Amino acid sequence: MASTNLPKRISTALINALGSGVVPRVGLEHIAVGRERELLSLLHDLENTAEGGSAFRFIIGRYGAGKSFLLQLIRNRAMEQGFVVADADFSPERKLAGTGGSSLGVYRELMGNLATKIRPDGGALAPILERWIAGIQTQVARESGCGPSDPGFDDQVEDKIRSVVKEIEDLVNGFDFANVIIAYWYGYRNDDDAKKEGALRWLRGEFATKGEARAALGVRVIIDDDSWYDYVKLLARFVADIGYKGLLIILDEAVHLYKITHAQSRQNNYDKLLAIFNDTMQGRVGYLDVLIGGTLQFLEDSRRGLYSDPAWQRRTATSRMVKSALQGLTGPVIRLEPLNQDELLRLLEQITTVHSDHYNTPYSLQKPDLQIFLTEMTRRLGSDILLTPGEVVRDWLAVLNVLHQNPQLSFSSVMLGEQFQVKGFHQNNQDGSLQPPKIPNEYAEFTL
């Protein structure tokens, strides 16, 4: 198996995250297999968004099927292409619609995770503004021949800044958004850190009262539970106007909306999601791509899922004329099918290479060994449908860790040892293979 030559920072993140059952933020491209068609479809959406369009997709699959992995992969690709990206997970405290800051919590999380190619780990709001202003200063200096210390230089910079923000003043809440951007410029121009921080706090939705915002910035509105989505749309337009391709919003763990126990509150969240969907699908917003990660239960449960709402069912149900696997790449819902055996084998090969390089431990594993492992994993009842890449990777890393920590053990001894057997199987003493547990005698003749 070829070496990856990955930096320790990336290989550590990959091994720790995958071994814990979570998706790493970096290095995903080194272990990505399958999902090529899904990825190409999502990249096509980004192309349309960069041209001023908009997109909305659900990424639907079972736990561990690779939803979050695909979302993080497209997040990294979007940053490489020049998009601003922001991601957040739904939780009981973060919803799309609610009171007491529950929906504002989603907005705040998005702003905290705002990222670009040069700030991929989040916290990019201030760098975006600083880079934009510095770019305008460079442009003014080149066009006028003046320097930052020359009279009138700052006035020319301000004129160009105002010409940009003027484009968004006519949008909903655009006037106040533009005034806050200007306030940030004043703080930048006058070395007023308090003014700059006030503008950032407002943009992050951190002001609790209108009076507090008026005292700090002279604006009479704040971002709240009812208005936060309007400012997402404004931000998408703003970042496009200052040189980025657009804004990609990723919202994962949508099952938490499904878990809302109060029926009216749950419906309010579905209605808010529908408003976002309609905006993007009908072209009422530009430079915005929205991805929602959720489970089949969240989508298809007719009692509490999106299918409980006729409006949602009409928009997301698979056409009777087209097979799901074909329609899933063009419609609003992408359903993640299980990886096939060849894809799982390639995945295990790449995980093994990363693990071997990270610990500088050569493994004498061959493809037949990986096939034996997969065979044992897939012999469980229903595993052809229920087995997910997350389960396979986690269990395979456990095997690799045992081999690394116990170099005297062979692969076969690890697989056939009682403490390492796949749950539900035992060793057959005659041929050394793993066999399913025997059926108790009292159920031997029971059939379905």
Answer for the pair 158, 185: CB distance below 8 angstroms, yes or no. yes
Residue with tokens 């045992």: 402
Domain boundary among 320, 335, 350: 335
Whether residue 137 has pLDDT greater than 60:
yes
Residue 5 forms part of a structural domain: no
Residue 234 forms part of a structural domain: no
Domain boundary among 202, 217, 232: 217
Whether residue 423 has pLDDT greater than 60:
no
Q: Are residues 43 and 70 in the same domain?
A: yes
Answer for the pair 153, 140: CB distance below 8 angstroms, yes or no. yes
Q: Are residues 267 and 307 in the same domain?
A: yes
| pLDDT value of position 438 | 47
Domain around 416: 341-443
Whether residue 124 has pLDDT greater than 60:
yes
| pLDDT value of position 179 | 94
Residue 1 forms part of a structural domain: no
| pLDDT value of position 309 | 94
Q: Are residues 183 and 259 in the same domain?
A: no
Residue 229 forms part of a structural domain: no
Residue 225 forms part of a structural domain: no
* CB environment 267-283: b (16+ within 10 A), e (fewer): ebbbebbbebbebbeee
- Residue among 401, 242, 294 at smallest CA distance from 234: 242
| pLDDT value of position 343 | 87
CATH number of the domain within which 80 lies = 3.40.50
| pLDDT value of position 326 | 53
Q: Are residues 100 and 193 in the same domain?
A: no
CA atoms of 438 and 444, how far apart (whole Å): 9
- The per-residue pLDDT for range 239-256, each reduced to its tens digit, is 999 999 999 999 999 999
CA dihedral 359, 15, 84, 137 (to 10 degrees): -30
User: Mean pLDDT throughout 183-196?
Assistant: 95
- Residue among 128, 133, 223, 226 at smallest CA distance from 176: 223
Q: Are residues 145 and 207 in the same domain?
A: yes
How much of the chain, in percent, has pLDDT values that exceed 70?
88
Q: Are residues 200 and 276 in the same domain?
A: no
User: Mean pLDDT throughout 63-77?
Assistant: 89
Residue 104 forms part of a structural domain: yes
Q: Are residues 204 and 265 in the same domain?
A: no
| pLDDT value of position 408 | 86
Answer for the pair 75, 250: CB distance below 8 angstroms, yes or no. yes
CA atoms of 99 and 97, how far apart (whole Å): 7
- The per-residue pLDDT for range 315-357, each reduced to its tens digit, is 987 766 555 555 557 789 999 888 888 888 888 988 989 998 8
54-60/288-294 β-pairing = parallel
Highest mean pLDDT among 83-87, 135-139, 217-221, 369-373: 83-87
Whether residue 259 has pLDDT greater than 90:
yes
| pLDDT value of position 425 | 43
Q: What angle do CA 147, 159, 152 make, to 5 degrees?
A: 35
| pLDDT value of position 417 | 60
Residue with tokens 């009812």: 226
Tell me the pLDDT band of 384, cut-offs 50, 70 and 90. Answer: low
Residue 27 falls in which region: left (phi positive, over 0), alpha (psi -120 to 50) or beta:
left
Q: Are residues 387 and 251 in the same domain?
A: no
Q: Are residues 134 and 211 in the same domain?
A: yes
Residue 410 forms part of a structural domain: yes
Whether residue 383 has pLDDT greater than 80:
no
Number of structural domains the chain divides into = 3
The average confidence (pLDDT) of the chain is 86
Q: Are residues 175 and 260 in the same domain?
A: no
User: Mean pLDDT throughout 79-107?
Assistant: 94
Tell me the pLDDT band of 437, cut-offs 50, 70 and 90. Answer: very low
Domain boundary among 302, 335, 368: 335
Answer for the pair 48, 16: CB distance below 8 angstroms, yes or no. no
Residue 121 forms part of a structural domain: no
Answer for the pair 406, 357: CB distance below 8 angstroms, yes or no. no
Q: Are residues 331 and 345 in the same domain?
A: no
| pLDDT value of position 371 | 86
Q: Are residues 327 and 372 in the same domain?
A: no
